[in-house]
Every structure is written in C-alpha cells, then in structure tokens.
Structure 1
Amino acid sequence: MARWVWAGLALAITTPALAQDAPADPPPQRVRNATVYGKDACPKPASDDEIVVCARLDEGERYRIPKRFRAPPDRSSAGASWAVRADSAMEEARVGRPNSCSVVGTGGQTGCTQAMLRNWFAWRRDQQAQQRDIP
C-alpha cells in the first residue's frame, strides 16, 4: 500500500514538469516603447525579432509638457514676505553670538531660555489655530 502512495506522489510531482514543452521560438531580442496620440497608428516593428509596445494618449496631450514636469518648483522662500525672510536671516546670523543658544562662540548659551520660550509660543499658536479649525 505504501508503494502505491509513493508511486502516486512521484507521478503527481513529475507530471507537470513533463507536460511543459520547450518554447518553439526564442523570445524577441528587442522591445521598443512608443507613445502615440489621438488616432495615430502604432509604428511597425523594424524586424521580426522586435516587439513594439504603444501607449495611446489623448490628442490634447500631444504638445503638452509631460505630467512629471508640470509641478511648479518649491519656492517657499522666494514667495515669502520680506519680514519672514528678514527673520530667517536674523536667526541664521544668530548662531555663535550672545543670546543665540549655541555652543559656538562665547556667551552663546545665554539665549537658551529665550529660544525655548520662542519655540513654545510658536507651538502654542499652532495648537490654538488647529483647535479653531476643528468644527
């Protein structure tokens, strides 16, 4: 009985492997991608060992900039007001000076409490704004 079980199991495992045939033709050597617009025809393969894959887009997209390039660049600092840019410049220049809360330079540690309070007030303003926005 055990022989029949083992023989059936061996036959079940090897049958799918025997059923596979070798490919009749080798796969194509070259795949070309093309984008066509509107009712334009897809280009024909140049040889028998080439496949042409066509992507069809609407006619209105023909002369447009591709979507991946359409997003405007990040201009957060260029669009900022003069006051915000001046404040950022002052914060950048503050490093290494007295009242800067920096380990660079003499007297830098004297501004740590002021920096902590500035950050806390900014955080609190953000929290209050978020609470006002919640219906």
Structure 2
Amino acid sequence: MKHLLAPAALAGLAALAAASPAAAQSANEKINMVIAYDESECPVAKQGEVVVCEILVEEERYRIPSNLRYSDNPANQSLARQVDQIKYVGDFGAMSCSPAGAGGFTGCTQKFVEAWAADRSEAEGVRFGQLIEKARAERLSTIDADAAAEQERVEMIEREYMERLERERQGELPGDSALPSPAPQPPEG
C-alpha cells in the first residue's frame, strides 16, 4: 500500500512545484484595472504590476455606464414616474378610480390611459425609434453637402467639355494647312 501511495504523492508534489512559480508570480503582482477615454490616460505598468486599461468612447465619459443605464428593476424608476404612481394614493370620489365614494369609477379610464402612455414611452422599441431617427438625421444632414459637391463636379466636367469644343472649333481642321491659299484677285477697274 505504501508503494502505491508514494508515486501518487510524488506526482502531486511535482505538479504543485511546477505550478508554484506561476501562482507565486500572480500572488505578488498587483493588478490595476483602469477605465480611460484616451490611450494617453492609461498608466504605465510598474515592476510587479499588471495594468488593464479599457478605452471607452469620449461621449460616454459623463454618462451612467451602459450596463446600469437600462434596467427593468422597479427600483430604477425615475422620480417623476414614482410621483405619478403615488399621485392617486388616498384619492377617492370623482375621477379617483376607486370603489369608495360617489363617482369613484370615473378616473379609471384616465389612469389606464396614463399607464398605457407611460409604458409606451419607456418601451424598448422607442429607443430603437430614437436611434433610427438619429441615424436618419445624420444621413440627411450630409445630403445637401454631397449634392452640392456632385453638382460642382458635374458643372466642372461640362465646363471642360465646352472649352474643349471651343478649342476644336477655333483650331485648324485637319488638311486645311495643306490647301493653298486662294490667289489674290486683281482689282477691277
């Protein structure tokens, strides 16, 4: 039994000894994780330090991180939405949407319409609609400049063509220089 245990223990010690330099190296190294908006903001790694630098887009510098920006968690509702939800607490009577008091049912339709509008304004499709509208506006903003540049290019080509035609009209025709000029006519008289 001792003979079987000894080779297994030696193999385990050999594996531990082989892994220990890497484990010791990573245990002694300091890992510095940095979010930067330009490569010049990334710090230089010092001896015994690993620097992980993530470069983000400059427009994102002062925004809430994207993984926290869109959340379905009810705790992440805006204050305006929370106020709208508690607006009807303790409300009864006409326009209250409650079974208490005369005319309590009259506010239910209004409350349903407001809930529908709030859900629709915060729907995920609305964000895509906004992104599409932004992309469309960017594309349309360059159409006038592109059309003006194309018009200028076409006019330049037309001008060059007209100048070439004018030069050809004013130039000698092939074979004209070979013809003798007409002899001067004697004056009549």
Q: Given the two structures, how large is their TM-score scaled by the length of structure 2?
A: 0.30
- Flag the structure with larger Rg: 2
The structure in which a higher percent of residues are helix is: 2
The structure in which a higher percent of residues are strand is: 1
